[in-house]
Amino acid sequence: MKILGNPAKSSSRFLAAFFLLGILATMPLTGCRSGRHTSDPSLRQIDDTLEAQLPAGTSKSKVSYYMSSQGFPLENTNDPHTIVAVVHRVDTETLRPVTARVTFHFDARDNLTTYELAAAPGSASPQ
């Protein structure tokens, strides 16, 4: 007769592995993101808003329309596959104004591929 081991012990291992897998699977949904478009923590709220409103694949005309409808000025650029905008917001955590220069990049079909944010001149520096 062959003894298979303690069934309670193997069941516990299975449940622990299943639980860990569940936690790892939900991490992208709970804010553990590495896809930030800036390393500046003062620009994270702007980044979160832009990511939600203008995901990759958004048309160039929609990005331009969104920026103008929000009152964000566009800068002239010589690259037809780039839009540069200046975004002004008030950080809701610090109640300080924050200004970002956002560069949007588009593919040959004028669909958004990515963007990056940088603190713009006149932006409040974190203290």
The span from the CA of 12 to the CA of 5, in Å, is 13
C-alpha separations of 44 from 28, 40, 48, 54, 124 in Å: 16, 7, 6, 15, 14
Q: What is the pTM of this model?
A: 0.68
- At residue 119, the 3 state secondary structure works out as strand
- 64-109 per-position pLDDT tens digit: 999 999 999 999 999 999 999 999 998 888 889 999 999 999 999 9
Helices assigned H by DSSP within 1-127:
7-26, 44-53, 60-69
Average pLDDT of the chain is: 79
Q: Please choose, from the candidates 124, 56, 39, 41, the residue with its C-alpha nearest in 3D space to the C-alpha of residue 89.
A: 124
Contact 61, 69 (CB under 8 A): no
Phi (first) and psi of residue 10, to 5 degrees: -70, -30
| The domain made up of 41-119 is a member of CATH 3.60.21 | no
